[in-house]
């Protein structure tokens, strides 16, 4: 029963957070200087009548709370407004961006988790050796490198070998149609640098946590028992230590999600990856408030949802936390 209670509480909290995010989102953008009318009416000779007509058309003459309710209602129907810049529905634009962001972020993050866990295990296994010191100090350094600096470094070092900007070669389809395989190859090549930057920014923390979690688990009594039974080192590590030491990684992933999103924004900006971070940046520069509002909302909601999933996964791994 307790478990079900915990799950319900987590879901309730996630829903509440999303609702708060939506509300803050709405009011934040109502205190911005200017609104859609001042933007659209910025044509020469805009008459007061035109302004008034636009104000009424967009419902800006109604009280704020009514606008808020309308906003909520439209949001539930998946309507996030129209982009000022491209005059297309925001939800459709952001859906396309999200489709580009997810593979890049997923590959970078999963890579960071794998590399971090791997180096962490090796470090703890060969603790206090030269390779441990090198790997740990490297992890601390990468942990402290600003994402944008890492990205620029990779641009300098590998910029000549790999594509540095965008997601596809814009001229690929010009001389005759492109096969699907070639297209995916092209995207894969473009994906290497952004995903690698994200991987390097993130992996250090995983190494440090995995290493210390391993060291802690190695001191447990059951490891001593396993050793007394005469099991080999490799078997003890693989069977008895790693699985238990993985638990803090689950927490770390959950707590890092907001951070990963921040890293992804910087990475997309550096490599012009046409994802949601890039869209957010463009929206700010073009004063495209509906896009900005929608983009932030999508990011906030995805972080909350991923956090919830991580929480539930953690609960599955270690049911003790509900108590």
Q: Which residues bind another protein (CB under 8 A)?
A: 13, 16-17, 20-21, 28-29, 31-32, 127-128, 132, 136, 140-141, 143-149, 152-153, 155-156, 159, 205, 208-209, 211-213, 215-216, 219, 248, 251-252, 255-259, 261-262, 265-266, 269-270, 277, 280-281, 284-285, 292, 295-296, 299-300, 303-304, 307
CB atoms inside a 10 Å sphere around CB 4? 9
Report the 3 state secondary structure along the chain: CHHHHHHHHHHHHHHHHHHHHHHHHHHHHHCCCCCHHHHHCCCCCCCHHHHHHHHHHCCCCCCHHHHHHHHHHHHHCCCCCECCCCCCEHHHHHHHHHHHHHHHHHHHHHHHHHHHHHHHHHHHHCCCCHHHHHHHHHHHHHHHCCHHHHHHHHHHHHCCCCCCCCCCCCCCCCCCCCCHHHHHHHHHHHHHHHHHHHHHHHHHHHHHHHHHHHHHHHCCHHHHHHHHCCCCHHHHHHHHHHHHHCHHHHHHHHHHHHHHHHHHHHHHHHCCCCCHHHHHHHHHHCCCHHHHHHHHHHHHHHHHHHHHHHHHHHHHHCHHHHC
CA torsion sign, 161 to 166 to 172 to 177? Answer: positive
User: How far apart are CB 182 and another protein at their closest, in Å?
Assistant: 27
Of residues 54 and 213, the one with the C-beta less far from another protein: 213
Of residues 29 and 68, the one with the C-beta less far from another protein: 29
User: How far apart are CB 251 and another protein at their closest, in Å?
Assistant: 6
Of residues 224 and 255, the one with the C-beta less far from another protein: 255
Of residues 120 and 195, the one with the C-beta less far from another protein: 120
The token pair that represents 297 in the structure block: 């909302």
Of residues 18 and 50, the one with the C-beta less far from another protein: 18
Of residues 273 and 296, the one with the C-beta less far from another protein: 296
User: How far apart are CB 184 and another protein at their closest, in Å?
Assistant: 27
Of residues 55 and 302, the one with the C-beta less far from another protein: 302
Of residues 149 and 222, the one with the C-beta less far from another protein: 149
Taking the C-alpha atoms of residue 108 and residue 248, their distance in angstroms, rounded to an integer, is 20
User: How far apart are CB 102 and another protein at their closest, in Å?
Assistant: 15
User: How far apart are CB 215 and another protein at their closest, in Å?
Assistant: 4
User: How far apart are CB 175 and another protein at their closest, in Å?
Assistant: 26
User: How far apart are CB 319 and another protein at their closest, in Å?
Assistant: 15
User: How far apart are CB 248 and another protein at their closest, in Å?
Assistant: 5
Terminal-to-terminal C-alpha distance of the chain: 11
């Amino acid at each position: 029963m307790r478990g079900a209670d915990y799950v319900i509480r987590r879901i309730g909290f996630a829903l509440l957070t999303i609702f708060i995010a939506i509300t803050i989102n709405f009011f934040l953008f109502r205190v911005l200087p200017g609104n859609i009318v001042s933007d659209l009416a910025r044509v020469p000779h805009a008459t007061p009548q035109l302004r008034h007509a636009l104000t009424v058309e967009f419902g800006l003459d109604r009280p704020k709370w009514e606008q808020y309710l309308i906003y909520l209602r439209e949001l539930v129907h998946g309507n996030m407004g129209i982009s000022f810049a491209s005059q297309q529905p925001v939800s459709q634009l952001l859906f396309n961006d999200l489709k580009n962001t997810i593979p890049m972020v997923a590959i970078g993050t999963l890579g960071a988790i794998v590399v971090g866990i791997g180096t962490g295990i090796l470090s703890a296994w060969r603790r206090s050796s030269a390779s441990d010191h090198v790997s740990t100090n490297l992890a601390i350094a990468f942990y402290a490198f600003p994402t944008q600096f890492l990205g620029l470094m990779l641009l300098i070092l590998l910029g000549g070998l790999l594509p540095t900007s965008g997601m596809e070669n814009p001229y690929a389809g010009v001389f005759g149609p492109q096969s699907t395989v070639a297209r995916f190859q092209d995207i894969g090549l473009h994906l290497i640098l952004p995903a690698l930057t994200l991987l390097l920014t993130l992996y250090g923390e995983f190494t440090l946590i995995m290493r210390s979690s391993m060291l802690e688990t190695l001191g447990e009594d059951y490891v001593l028992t396993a050793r007394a039974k005469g099991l080999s080192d490799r078997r003890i590590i693989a069977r008895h230590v790693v699985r238990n030491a993985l638990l803090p990684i689950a927490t770390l992933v959950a707590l890092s999600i907001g951070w990963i999103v921040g890293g992804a924004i910087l990475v997309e900006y550096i490599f012009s990856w046409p994802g949601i971070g890039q869209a957010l940046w463009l929206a700010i520069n073009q004063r495209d408030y509906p896009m900005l509002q929608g983009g932030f909302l999508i990011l906030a909601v995805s972080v909350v949802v991923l956090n919830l999933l991580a929480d539930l996964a953690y609960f599955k791994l270690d049911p003790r936390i509900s108590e």
